[in-house]
Structure 1
């Protein structure tokens, strides 16, 4: 996942402590003007290089898959409590780029001002340190914001937009989680979205040697659109970029606690929101009732029709893997 390995973002105070402590050690190894030059060079390099590294560790959002872009934008809108999201992060990163260049420039500037007199050189070096400290104070909030963004995005589940994906939808208690648990052949990963109370669950299964993702989104695709806030709604848009097929669960028995008409209305909303993405309707709990029109019928409780539902989703997706030696 593109945000998983982002390094911890240092604070302004941490960078200043690191830069000036190492500069002091570098200065003790030399004398006179050379000592002050070494201190300026060391501190400006540490500040400039570390700030540069913070910026370049982030992916270029102009080339991030639409799924991750929209999801990151939704999460950052929530984190920053504004409508800018990714654009706000870009502004903070731009300020850090400026500070990286500025601290390098200050090192060169004050090294050029150093006189041969040791005491006078020490005063110039202190002035250079003060200017670098001022720059770091200016970007203190930017470093904090970038660190918060990193912490918010690193918990995203590993959903890979380049792999075929089945998105599971439907009201709570209709059998979605049980289905995911039954058909996935690997450990199910659960990750909390900052704006939801339940974790997004990702499992995998294989079909004709192709690895498929199965995504369950409690808190997003289990209630009507008018009950979702803007950020949750944008997360649904992000999922639309990742999904190759929607597997929508209906419970005609009513034991889920939601009337069948409400379930059908939610299905219509999901179908409209996901546009051209195929939607397969699954009637679950057939051991209790089959009184609904659906593409396939299943009972998780009885272990009946589960593979048929999965096969129907795969067929509807129409995914064709690229073969390595296929003629262009």
Structure 2
């Protein structure tokens, strides 16, 4: 499951305008109390259906792949007094669902009032119903706005397949992760000489022996407790926790990245301890500037040094075997 299919979330005023303009057209086709009933039915249906459709278009976060759930927790911001992440989304969705149901109740309540009355009283009841329908819809305007912003953010997240073998590239900011991933895959991630250029988890693909491997370029990951990590860093940890079949820890032995080698190695050791059941390879990056490091691989992407060898080593560490159909 990804978030690519999330539809656009309408604003409250858009829904009110849509409902009432269509109701007016429906009313023109009839006369008397029947016209008022038709207008009410049309407006009530549009608001009730559209509001509830907003909520049903979102996934059940209890069933979302843990990787995507944690990404949503990391990237969806707080809105007003409502928290960010999945808890905030659930609150907004619950409010919008309530409004959709209320619109249906108002429609049904006033339809019963319109039965057997003359045109003037029917018009009075219909206007009261329209006022209440508009109030209910506008009551969740901030929730709709928050869901719309969250949808726009989530749709930018990468399409990552949990069933494909995955190589995760980790390390401190500005150690050359994106440069390597860009070089060996079809990814085109921004590369710059300042920390935290990679603002989101990115994915590229490479094929070896007819097997498609995902290479995940993670944001710069700092060696500090989970509770102190920001949203960008938590994305990187989520990718490591849920996706990695092999982790490449890039270490800049020249320390030109701005971080001492010892703290970079401390991060490597933390990852090796936390993911003891996953191959963790130490990669001396920018090897044309310094090789003063005990590493599993030495790479200089700018000098075309060790790139293919590192990729081969990662594929070997993954040790992925294609599942063949059972042959009796």
The TM-score with structure 2 as length reference comes to 0.87
Aligned to 1:235: 235
The aligned runs of 1:93-242 (5 Å cut-off) are 93-114=93-114, 115-184=116-185, 186-188=186-188, 198-200=198-200, 201-218=202-219, 220-221=220-221, 223-225=222-224, 229-239=229-239, 240-242=241-243
Shift of 1:316: 1.6
Tell me the C-alpha RMSD between the 2 structures. 2.5
Q: Is the 2:178–2:189 contact (alpha carbons within 8 Å) kept by the matching residues of 1?
A: no
Q: Equivalent residue of 1:61, what SS?
A: coil
Shift of 1:286: 3.8
Separation in 2 of the partners of 1:197 and 1:290?
A: 25
Q: Is the 1:79–1:148 contact (alpha carbons within 8 Å) kept by the matching residues of 2?
A: no
Shift of 1:39: 0.4
Separation in 2 of the partners of 1:272 and 1:83?
A: 32
Separation in 2 of the partners of 1:40 and 1:258?
A: 66
Change (3 A) 1:127 1:289: closer
The aligned runs of 1:1-328 (5 Å cut-off) are 2-77=2-77, 85-114=85-114, 115-184=116-185, 186-188=186-188, 198-200=198-200, 201-218=202-219, 220-221=220-221, 223-225=222-224, 229-239=229-239, 240-323=241-324, 325-326=325-326
Q: Deviations over 1:22-54 (max 9, x none)?
A: 101100110011101100110011001111211
Q: Is the 1:174–1:249 contact (alpha carbons within 8 Å) kept by the matching residues of 2?
A: yes
Separation in 2 of the partners of 1:81 and 1:314?
A: 47
Separation in 2 of the partners of 1:105 and 1:72?
A: 33
Q: Is the 1:286–1:298 contact (alpha carbons within 8 Å) kept by the matching residues of 2?
A: yes
5+ residue gaps, structure 1: 191-195
Q: Equivalent residue of 1:199, what SS?
A: coil
Aligned to 1:193: none
The TM-score with structure 1 as length reference comes to 0.87
